[in-house]
Amino acid sequence: MMKKIISVVVFIISITATGFSQESTFYLFFVNIISEPFRFPLIGLVNIANGNHDKVQLGLVNWNTGNFTGLQAGLANSAGGNISGVQLGLVNTSAGNINGWQSGLVNTVANGGQGFQFGLVNASMEKLKGVQLGLINYVESIEDGVPIGLISIVKNGGYRAVEYSFSEFYPTTIGLKLGVEKFYSTIFCAYSPSSEFDSNDLAIGSGFGSIISISETFFFNPELNFMSSTIWTILNGNTQNFISFIPYFGYKINKNFCITLGPSLTWINGDNGSLKKPLFKISHHKINENNSLITGVRASFRLAF
């Protein structure tokens, strides 16, 4: 679907731009093509600005060949230079820097972005100086920024690690951590063996954490994790949900390998008054038939790559 939309946008731009010179100016409200300098808003189905432009571009497709200052709002917004302002649309692109923010389904910036990207997919092709907030984030490198999302990939200088962890509910949990040390995300799956297999023996989840250095080898590592029993429990009406806060303390054995240990506080919610019992615990406070607070201990082994 996304490929089709982008193809249609490119087709509209190419057909519209064909036959018009850099000096042409047409303001027809349906299709607007202007050249620098032009100090008025562009409002139409397709807006094309040759050179630099400011003020406002409102339309299905907004295309600026140079620097843009102001607001671009439409299905697809693009600037061939730097952006100082806001892009709102399904697809937003900047071939230069951005000093402002992009909000859309897909946001891309070619050079070091020092603004804010908010969308399903965000990409910064050079150094990130601002903030990315989305489901999937991609950054070439980090200067003074942070990506926040379910999956954040930093090509150079990011934090990537695989983890085995042990908890009071699931003795076997395998996770993948991505992002930067100041803020990373985790996706994981967990398994708890039992004499008779139960659907609550399997769970999946995600979480967020931060690594705060204490010394060259020791660090503080608070994490907030969300976990739920798998689809089988939903089908049989016995879903289990876990929200856990774990203030880990960690020790770096070498550059790539570390271990962590810390207490945990977990709120567990279940259906039908049947809550998963912990393998061990420090304390157990029953709120009601479907909710409990469990204090336990967790440990993990991580390999950074």
| Residue 195 or 145, more confident | 145
**What is the per-residue pLDDT for 21?**
47
- Does 15 score more than 50 pLDDT? no
Shared domain check, 128 and 239: no
Kind and range of the H or E run holding 9:
helix 2-17
Shared domain check, 209 and 262: yes
The secondary structure of 29-50 as a DSSP string is SSEEEEESS--S-EESSEEEEE
- Does 64 score more than 50 pLDDT? yes
Give the integer Cα–Cα distance in Å for 270 and 237: 9
Question: Given 30, 50, 82, which residue is the final one in a domain?
Answer: 82
Shared domain check, 126 and 227: no
**What is the per-residue pLDDT for 19?**
44
Domain containing 183 equals: 159-304
Closest CA to 92 of 52, 132, 50: 132
Report the sign of the C-alpha dihedral through residues 248, 251, 255, 258, in that order: negative
Three-class SS of residue 97? coil
Shared domain check, 17 and 61: yes
Shared domain check, 73 and 104: no
Q: Is 199 domain-assigned?
A: yes
Question: Given 82, 113, 131, which residue is the final one in a domain?
Answer: 82
Question: Given 82, 107, 134, which residue is the final one in a domain?
Answer: 82
Shared domain check, 66 and 198: no
Please, which contacts does 150-157 make with residues 24 or more away whose CB atoms are closer than 8 Å? Answer: 150/185, 150/187, 150/206, 151/178, 151/185, 151/187, 152/178, 152/179, 152/180, 152/184, 152/185, 153/178, 154/178, 154/179, 154/180
**What is the per-residue pLDDT for 238?**
72
Considering its fold, how many domains does the chain have in total?
A: 3
- Does 197 score more than 70 pLDDT? no
pTM of whole model > 0.85? no
| Single-letter residue type at 153 | I
Shared domain check, 296 and 163: yes
Residue 109, exposed/middle/buried by CB under 10 A (0-12, 13-18, 19+)?
A: buried
Confidence of residue 41 (pLDDT cuts 50, 70, 90): confident
Using an 8 Å Cβ cutoff, are 79 and 57 in contact?
A: no
**What is the per-residue pLDDT for 229?**
84
Weakest-pLDDT range from 23-32, 63-72, 75-84, 168-177: 23-32
Closest CA to 270 of 291, 252, 287, 288: 291
Q: Is 88 domain-assigned?
A: no
Q: Is 149 domain-assigned?
A: yes
Three-class SS of residue 233? helix
Shared domain check, 137 and 218: no
Q: Count the residues in the chain.
A: 305
Residue 244 CB coordination number (10 Å) = 22
Shared domain check, 177 and 152: no
What is the average per-residue pLDDT within 15-40? 67
**What is the per-residue pLDDT for 153?**
94
Q: Is 71 domain-assigned?
A: yes
Shared domain check, 295 and 169: yes
Mind listing the pLDDT tens digit for each residue in 164-185? 999 999 999 999 999 999 999 9
Percent of the chain predicted with pLDDT > 90: 65
Q: What is the CATH number of the domain that holds 172?
A: 2.40.160
Strand partners, 64: 49, 79
- Residue 220 Cα to chain centre, angstroms: 23
Confidence of residue 216 (pLDDT cuts 50, 70, 90): very high
Using an 8 Å Cβ cutoff, are 169 and 278 in contact?
A: yes
**What is the per-residue pLDDT for 227?**
93
Shared domain check, 138 and 27: no
Q: Is 233 domain-assigned?
A: yes
Residue 34 CB coordination number (10 Å) = 19
Average pLDDT, the chain: 88
What is the average per-residue pLDDT within 131-143? 93
Q: Is 87 domain-assigned?
A: no
Mind listing the pLDDT tens digit for each residue in 223-276? 999 999 876 666 666 788 999 999 999 999 999 999 999 999 999 998 766 788
Alpha carbon separation from 11 to 1, 16, 17, 96, 286 (Å, rounded): 15, 8, 10, 23, 61
**What is the per-residue pLDDT for 7?**
54
Shared domain check, 271 and 214: yes
Q: Is 91 domain-assigned?
A: no
